[in-house]
A and B are shown apart, each in its own frame.
Chain A
């Protein structure tokens, strides 16, 4: 276990380093720096500003300074566009929102997807099964940026039940549509995966033995079939974090929820490289952390797995 954690960290560090270097090199090869505007600044002023942000130093030194700031003080540096805010401020504003509804998304897709898949497998070839399969097929065709508009169309414009956007401190009326829009398509995959792996487990020999012993169906499913059937679902959770973060950009754009995506997209439009880099690094690090947690969970559920 410890061995695995160490090995993972050994992969994580070069990953993050590559990220820093790639983003740094990218932003320095950009034509026109972050302070290029339609009204050109006097060269003297520009030089002063660049000195203030350390942009006149050689590249390796800038990278080093940036890394030092992150490692020692968790400081992602100043924003190049908003003079009065640092990247940390921007992240502190956007990240809680994204994490709040992101966590709900993961909860909802598991709480709905897994039971639905299980029931579909247990009642194979009944209407429940067909319903679940139909749902999982349909949801494939409804990625978040299709779900979002459709939800707004139905629940805001036609029925008028839910507000069409905003965050409002995370009130449930504001959260419900973003969460559904983001959860649906992954949930469908989870349903399908759970169903097929449950079907496979239910046909296996040890389940037949359990049935032959006369165990009640309930015990068979909850105590014997559930755990092995969930294994592929858990390994399918690794990409979920990236999915949620990427999808949250779309959700932020559709529902104006004000998450990390809003700031990243704005930064991309404004060429605010500092913010883009900060967000990229942060999500990179969080992704690695999340995948590590999933792997630990996997090893905990199935002791057969050795790292």
Chain B
């Protein structure tokens, strides 16, 4: 009898795990699902869009020079699908590169920050005591450092490269993550189910693996996905100022900056295409992040 009840509850629990629940909630979120498909399309475009391009990023179309406002607009016939920039380079190829770089910076930057922040926060929270307070005081101090300036200094001193941007951005954004993870670890450590596991004699490592980490993943995933658009914005801001990636490489921020400086000549496509892609990318990541938060952390609403 008792056995029957046990197996029954067990199957019931297995039938609706935390993750299945979250997935169901996410799938029901229309904005998030649309963003997910849109993002998938954007990523596919970023990877395979180059096949359609008839020009390289730094190839100058000499026929256009001097007549860019009249001839340089988007056209399928001459192969410049998005028109050309003020130097006569193909904007399709350049926007594509910008999109690739923005996506890469966003995703890799956020993942790096997430890994580092999670490790730091989990260690700090789990060890606790003096170590915890020293580690968290360090985070407090670093939080007040104006990192935007430090990143620019890094770029100025060590040269403006994508690698340097990664390092700079990665350096700065793990702090919030560390704090969140540490708080979560602290509260998990004293939860009844962890206590129960401990009382049952489950080894510490298994507790961390089976009970702490799965409960952290939700927070980490949510926070990482919310970090991605911030990373993209940061990189674009730096590139907009001309301090990010260097010509002939480009990024969406740099393209928007160039488009802004030429729009008074009527070449609106130079601003429009990079701007549209940039907003699309931001839109997708914001709503996916929102959807993930609602799905994984419903009590937070």
Q: What is the interface of chain A, defined by CB distance below 8 A to chain B? A: 11-12, 14-15, 18-19, 22-23, 26-27, 29-30, 140-143, 145-146, 148-149, 152-153, 157, 164, 242, 245-246, 249-250, 253-254, 264-265, 268-269, 271, 276, 279-280, 283-284, 287-288, 291
Q: B97 at interface (Cβ–Cβ under 8 A)?
A: no
Q: B260 at interface (Cβ–Cβ under 8 A)?
A: yes
A280 contacts B153, C-beta separation under 8 Å: yes
Given contact pairs A253-B240, A276-B153, a sample of 7 additional A-B residue pairs in the complex whose CB atoms are under 8 Å apart: A30-B157, A141-B279, A145-B236, A149-B259, A245-B146, A250-B240, A271-B156
A26 contacts B263, C-beta separation under 8 Å: no
B157 contacts A26, C-beta separation under 8 Å: yes
3 closest A-B pairs by CB: A280-B149, A149-B260, A30-B157
A141 to B264 CA separation, bound complex (whole angstroms):
23
Q: B175 at interface (Cβ–Cβ under 8 A)?
A: no
Residue of B nearest to A279 (CB): B149
Q: B141 at interface (Cβ–Cβ under 8 A)?
A: yes
B257 contacts A280, C-beta separation under 8 Å: no
Most buried by B among A142, A143, A153, A287: A143
Q: Which residues of B contact A23 (CB under 8 A)?
A: 150, 153
B282 contacts A141, C-beta separation under 8 Å: yes
Contact of A284 among B140, B144, B157 (CB under 8 A): B144
Residue of B nearest to A146 (CB): B275
| CB-CB under 8 A for A157 and B264, given A11-B141, A15-B144, A287-B144 | yes
Shortest B277–chain A CB gap in Å is 12
A157 contacts B263, C-beta separation under 8 Å: yes
Q: Which residues of A contact B137 (CB under 8 A)?
A: 11
Shortest A142–chain B CB gap in Å is 8
A163 to B122 CA separation, bound complex (whole angstroms):
52
Q: Which residues of B contact A27 (CB under 8 A)?
A: 153, 157
Contact of B152 among A22, A164, A268, A291 (CB under 8 A): A268
Interface residues of B in 274-289 (CB under 8 A from A): 275, 278-279, 282-283, 286
Interface residues of B in 145-176 (CB under 8 A from A): 145-146, 148-150, 152-158
A146 to B146 CA separation, bound complex (whole angstroms):
23
B149 contacts A22, C-beta separation under 8 Å: no
A11 to B263 CA separation, bound complex (whole angstroms):
47
A153 to B268 CA separation, bound complex (whole angstroms):
9
Between-chain CB contacts (< 8 Å), 23 pairs: A11-B137, A15-B145, A19-B145, A26-B154, A30-B156, A30-B157, A140-B286, A141-B286, A143-B233, A145-B257, A146-B278, A152-B260, A153-B271, A245-B148, A250-B240, A250-B241, A253-B241, A276-B149, A276-B153, A284-B145, A284-B149, A287-B146, A291-B144
Residue of B nearest to A265 (CB): B241
Q: Which residues of B contact A242 (CB under 8 A)?
A: 146, 148
Q: B237 at interface (Cβ–Cβ under 8 A)?
A: yes
Query: Secondary structure of the B side of the interface?
Result: helix
| CB-CB under 8 A for A149 and B271, given A11-B140, A18-B145, A265-B241 | yes
Q: B69 at interface (Cβ–Cβ under 8 A)?
A: no
Q: Which residues of B contact A18 (CB under 8 A)?
A: 141-142, 145
A268 contacts B156, C-beta separation under 8 Å: yes
A245 to B243 CA separation, bound complex (whole angstroms):
17
Residue of A nearest to B155 (CB): A268
Q: B256 at interface (Cβ–Cβ under 8 A)?
A: yes
Q: Which residues of B contact A145 (CB under 8 A)?
A: 236-237, 240, 253, 256-257, 260
**B59-89, CB under 8 A of A: which get 1 and which 0?**
0000000000000000000000000000000
A141 to B232 CA separation, bound complex (whole angstroms):
12
Q: Which residues of B contact A153 (CB under 8 A)?
A: 263, 268, 271
Q: Which residues of B contact A284 (CB under 8 A)?
A: 144-146, 149
Residue of A nearest to B149 (CB): A280
Shortest A136–chain B CB gap in Å is 12
| CB-CB under 8 A for A246 and B237, given A149-B271, A284-B144 | yes
Q: Which residues of A contact B264 (CB under 8 A)?
A: 157, 164
Q: Which residues of B contact A268 (CB under 8 A)?
A: 152-153, 155-156, 241, 243
A19 to B144 CA separation, bound complex (whole angstroms):
10
Residue of A nearest to B234 (CB): A246
A287 to B158 CA separation, bound complex (whole angstroms):
26
